Amino acid sequence: MPKIGVFMFQDFGYPAFVDSAKLAEENDFDFFGLIDSTDAYSDYCPWAGLVAVNTSKILIGPWVTNPLTRHPRVTANHALTIQELSRGRAMVGLGAGDNAVRSMGWKPATPSVFREAMEIIRNKFKEKKADIPIYYGGSGERNTATALRLADGITGAGAAGPRVTTDAVVQGIERLKAKAKEVGRDFNTLDIRTGMTFSLSYNRKEAIEEIKGLLARTMKGIFLDGSRPFPTELDRFREEAKKVAEAYDYFNHMRSHTPEGQLARHTKVMSDEFADAFGMAGTPSEMLPRFKVVWEAASQYPNVNLVITPHGSKGGRKRSFELFVKEILPKLRS
């Protein structure tokens, strides 16, 4: 049975955020990742400390940080602090940088900078004799190759697309497996995390609106960053998707609403029809078959596990997570 972690954005206050970490632990999630997103969300470091002292089993750390806005030695020291507070439950997710660097007007870390950062962090952990896993979160051939050589795990494998199938997820995992072989890494020694990003509500329209922020970032990646092709089956939405990409606001990174409750700029130009076609959003009963697709694919591999990212505004993120735990997870594990 796959293990499962949760990537939770710290935007719904104390004590609710810590309560979500406790709920994850009570339901046997193996890690609780926090967003490192300068300007858009409160700083992950204090929140990670709160989670560390209020839980007892779950791993805790950034999902993911970067080597530019935080020097690698600073990141390593923070992880070692969480390791101390949590009595051995720290982890680190590391990428080249997205919102945290782009909102500063910078470009993501180059492959050489990323590699050096991973080596600095790993060496610091070795120096302190701390067994802290490092995960890679991102894209790009050279950074992925570096991560396959040096990281303990990689996230994001195999689950992209509006209507993903089990075969498509498996194909994505197999591509990563082939890359691991190319760089001389035993694929089975890696913790591979395939992602499920969603919004759940008993009110379908609410769920659809709350997934728009995430979809806007996806469109920005497709049309402005060249991350992957736009799905041909959704070509009727191409012009709308371009407008959404151009409207993307990093100061409301992956959010449908501003902190004040107003629609974010990118949300205003996205139709419900497009969000429904592209996003994983709806009622628990509607979304269950799509969760099962990814779960069944991961179950085919002993080292492929899951990470979920619940979305929602004005407390909706907590609602999405609680509905997943209550309505979806028991059916996946049964």
Please tell me whether residue 7 adopts helix, strand or coil conformation: strand
Does domain 4-200+281-333 fall under CATH 3.20.20.30? My reply is: yes
| 65 closest CA partner among 15, 136, 10 | 136
- Give the Cα separation of 14 and 49 in Å (integer): 13
Q: Residue 184 forms beta bridges with which residues?
A: none
pLDDT at 163: 66
- Give the Cα separation of 177 and 253 in Å (integer): 31
pLDDT tens, 137-168?
Answer: 877 788 899 999 999 999 876 655 556 788 88
Exposure of 182 by Cβ count < 10 A (0-12 exposed, 13-18 middle, 19+ buried)? Answer: exposed
Mean pLDDT taken over the chain = 94
pLDDT tens, 75-104?
Answer: 999 999 999 999 999 999 999 999 899 888
pLDDT tens, 239-277?
Answer: 999 999 999 999 999 999 999 999 999 999 999 999 999
Please tell me whether residue 5 adopts helix, strand or coil conformation: strand
Q: How far is CA 220 from the centre of its chain?
A: 16
Pick the range with the lowest mean pLDDT from 66-80, 119-133, 223-237: 223-237
To the nearest 10 degrees (0 to 180), the angle between helices 16-26 and 44-53 is 50
Contacts 24+ apart (CB under 8 A), 154-158: 154/190, 154/191, 154/192, 154/193, 155/63, 155/64, 155/93, 155/193, 155/194, 155/195, 155/307, 156/193, 156/194, 156/195, 157/192, 157/193, 157/194, 157/304, 158/194, 158/297
**Residues 6 or more apart in contact with residue 1 via CB below 8 angstroms:** 299, 333
Task: Please give the model's pTM, rounded to 2 decimal places.
Answer: 0.95
Dig out the tokens for 254 from the structure: 């992956």
pLDDT tens, 172-200?
Answer: 899 999 999 999 999 999 999 998 999 99
Would you list the domain boundaries of the chain?
4-200+281-333, 212-278
**CA gyration radius, the chain:** 19
